[in-house]
Amino acid sequence: MADEASTARARELREHLERWNHEYYVLDAPSIPDADYDRALRELAELERSFPELIDPESPTQRVGAPPLDVFESVAHPIPMLSLDNAFSEDELAAFVRRICDRLDVDETPELVAEPKLDGIAVSLIYRDGRLWRAATRGDGTRGEDITLNVRTIRAIPLRLQGDDWPAELEVRGEIFMPRAGFEAFNEQARRAGEKPFVNPRNAAAGSLRQLDSSITAKRPLDFFAYAAGQHPDDGWPASHWEVLERFRGWGLPVSREARRVASLEACETYYREMEARRDGLAFDIDGIVYKVNAFAAQRELGFVARAPRWAIARKFPAQEAMTTLLGVEFQVGRTGAITPVARLKPVFVGGVTVSNATLHNMDEIARLNLHEDDTVVVRRAGDVIPQVVSVIEERRRENAPVVIAPQSCPVCDSPVERVEGEAALRCTGGLVCPAQRKASLRHFAARRAMDIDGLGDKLIEQLVDRGLVRNVADLYHLTQEQLCALERMGEKSAQKLLGAIEKSRQTTLPRFLFALGIREVGEATAVSLANHLGSLEAIAAADEDTLMAIPDVGPVVAAHVWGFFTSAQQEVVAQLREAGVTWPDVERAVDNDGPLKDQTWVVSGRLESCSRDEAEERLRGLGARTAKSVSGKTTVLLAGPGAGSKLAKAESLGVEVIDEAEFLRRVQAGAEG
């Protein structure tokens, strides 16, 4: 018999789960990570197993999701759309396999089908006489929302099945999702339009499907994979799930290419590890693996529990979101003086690692989050992406908790902090008197694409600045072997090697030198434009803003930063570098490059065989093209070699022309001859 504490806890868990269900399924605004929801659901299920009298027909353990939105017509599913039980470890998956074998009374694991568990929106599609008749969300598992008009706009979903061997009535179940590249492009457009971006692809897909105006859904980059059949005739129907997937493909329904048949626990784990390793490189989000008994006869024998089939389970990946406590906000100073807030967190395991810090981007983001001291926050980490705070659990906020505010002075040098109109970042006004900017400037100056001083790493820079040996970048050229050998972990050979690299860097190019100076907004491509169009450092230093703005890729913001740099005390550092012997060959000044690629913007990505990416960009600029490091709506062509990755996906989603190395070489040759 359940005691008072167990009864109260079950009631509390049901209330929490119902509210979280409403936020997730109806509002598309979840306030907690999936891992915390799963944990609460498992606790409630365990209580109900221990005390059956606590089971309530309305309990979240007895149904799936939440009721449909009132604004859409509610429709009944021919067969309930059930959820899946979860396995969070290899042991739990092994227990699932043992239960299957015991119920089927077999010694060896029956054949299973393993498929990625898509992080999207489950839907039911009903085809009558081969034509899409109705589409509905899962809803509460028994009834869903009629979203037919919206689903008809998704190109991945056929309005008419291919072939002629499909049944007169067929229910197809699958997942609608937003691919990562489409999600990034959509959010970029939203930001440009001043609109609020979506938090993740799953929310973006849900919001797109729940548009009352289907023309809005039509503009969203949605995709679909079919993963099961619901209602179907028994006559002539395949004997296994794998055969159904093959039928789907034949009828023109998209099915995941990652599905695989496995016949042992070891094969299940191998597939899981492979997909976990590939997870962040896929074109879409997945949060685990679904294993299903392949043979339908075995599925029927295994049957169902209240809310899930006994013949299937979801093996979840480590959570990419988790809740933790904000311990404080630290403001870090970067190379250009930008002050970035970083959240210090109570350590939490998320995305496969323990996270104790997360980015907060800027004060605008802190305001958006409405962040207070000691808040309970949700942290997200996906792959190698820097962890970030995505939301605050305001209901857990302590009373009278202070709001996180911006610093009035630099946390490193105590210089005043300014915020330029139109910019989100705070900036320290200390310049090179600020040790934080000094160290960051040295790191940038020594980088491979700048002065390329091999061996000048972070720890060595810390020592050089902290001991007062280097006050600015020009001091590097006056270091002695005796000074270097006195530093920690710096032997005679290491000191000689570093001095050799410093000596080698005295011979550089004007674009590299300009880039190395760290002028705000002057990247590699802009440095090349400045050098090519003005020809000398003296001409660049003497140019006014109007002259600078006449150069391609130099707008008013960049012109102001370049002009400001060369009319400030920074000019003294430049003079010291020249006195130290830093030099470069003369630059042949470009008049007006009317090459065949004029007004085109190219991006180079991936591995090239005939030349390096830097050399390819040089050739393109020689033919009049602008080069950029990221793909956007302004990109004309992407040169994509093997390993182009996310840039290729984004180019395809934006309709940017993509060419391979052979076509690039053909165009370069034609341009050179032309």
Residue 19 pLDDT greater than 90, yes or no: no
Tokens representing residue 373 in the block: 């001291």
Buried b (16+ CB within 10 A) or exposed e, 605-625: bbebeebebeebbebbbbbbb
Q: What is the CATH number of domain 321-418?
A: 2.40.50.140
**Distance, CA of 116 to CA of 260 (rounded, Å):** 10
**Distance, CA of 187 to CA of 633 (rounded, Å):** 13
Q: What is the CATH number of domain 510-579?
A: 1.10.150.20
To which H or E segment does residue 46 belong? helix 34-50
Contacts of 226 (CB under 8 A, 6+ apart): 125, 172, 173, 174, 245, 248, 253, 254, 255
Q: Is 117 among the catalytic positions?
A: yes
Tell the CATH superfamily of the 601-673 domain: BRCT domain (3.40.50.10190)
Residue 253 pLDDT greater than 90, yes or no: yes
Residue 614 confidence (pLDDT): 76
Average pLDDT along the chain: 87
Residue 272 confidence (pLDDT): 96
Domain boundaries 430-505, CATH class: mainly alpha
Q: Which residues pair with 126 in a beta bridge?
A: 134, 171
φ, ψ dihedrals at 460, nearest 5°: -70, -40
Contacts of 99 (CB under 8 A, 6+ apart): 310
What is the pLDDT confidence band of residue 14, given thresholds at 50, 70 and 90?
Answer: confident
Q: What is the pLDDT of residues 269-325, one digit of tens each?
A: 999 999 998 988 898 989 899 999 999 999 999 998 867 899 999 999 887 888 999
Residue 591 confidence (pLDDT): 52
Question: What secondary structure letter does DSSP report for 317?
Answer: P
pTM beyond 0.75: no
Q: What is the pLDDT of residues 614-625, one digit of tens each?
A: 778 878 877 878
Annotated domain spans of the chain: 4-62, 82-316, 321-418, 430-505, 510-579, 601-673
Average pLDDT over residues 647-652: 84
CA 482 to chain centre: 47
| Range from 154-158, 192-196, 647-651 carrying the lowest mean pLDDT | 192-196
What is the pLDDT confidence band of residue 341, given thresholds at 50, 70 and 90?
Answer: very high
Residue 497 confidence (pLDDT): 94
Average pLDDT over residues 424-433: 78
**DSSP characters for 297-342?**
HHHHHH-B-SSSBTTEEEEEPPPSEEEEEEEEEEEEE-TTSEEEEE
Enumerate the H helices of 138-284 as residue ranges: 148-151, 180-192, 201-209, 214-218, 241-250, 265-278
Q: What is the CATH number of domain 82-316?
A: 3.30.470.30
Q: What is the CATH number of domain 4-62?
A: 1.10.287.610
- Say yes or no: do domains 430-505 and 510-579 share a fold: yes
Q: What is the pLDDT of residues 256-273, one digit of tens each?
A: 999 999 999 999 999 999
SS3 541: helix
Q: What is the pLDDT of residues 539-573, one digit of tens each?
A: 999 998 888 888 877 888 888 889 888 887 778 88
**DSSP characters for 338-403?**
EEEEEEEEEEEEETTEEEEEEE--SHHHHHHHT-BTT-EEEEE--TTSPPEEEEE-GGGPPTTPPB
Q: Which amino acid is at 359?
A: T
Q: List Cα–Cα distances, 479 to 462, 476, 498, in angstroms.
A: 15, 6, 10
What is the pLDDT confidence band of residue 592, given thresholds at 50, 70 and 90?
Answer: low
Average pLDDT over residues 653-663: 88
Tokens representing residue 25 in the block: 């399924």
Q: Of 117, 439, 647, 650, which residue is the catalytic one?
A: 117
Q: At what angle do helices 265-278 and 90-104 cross, to 10 degrees?
A: 140
Q: At what angle do helices 661-673 and 613-622 cross, to 10 degrees?
A: 30
Residue 179 confidence (pLDDT): 92
Q: Are 396 and 376 in contact (CB under 8 A)?
A: yes
Residue 672 confidence (pLDDT): 65
Q: Are 651 and 631 in contact (CB under 8 A)?
A: yes
Q: What is the pLDDT of residues 48-78, one digit of tens each?
A: 888 888 887 667 776 555 555 567 888 999 9
Q: Which amino acid is at 391?
A: S
**Distance, CA of 109 to CA of 294 (rounded, Å):** 11
**Distance, CA of 451 to CA of 434 (rounded, Å):** 22
Give which of 258, 255, 321, 282 is closest to 181, Cα–Cα.
282
Give which of 455, 584, 593, 580 is closest to 514, Cα–Cα.
584
In terms of average pLDDT, the best of 38-42, 227-231, 367-371, 429-433 is 227-231
**Distance, CA of 552 to CA of 533 (rounded, Å):** 9
**Distance, CA of 549 to CA of 542 (rounded, Å):** 14
Q: Are 616 and 664 in contact (CB under 8 A)?
A: yes
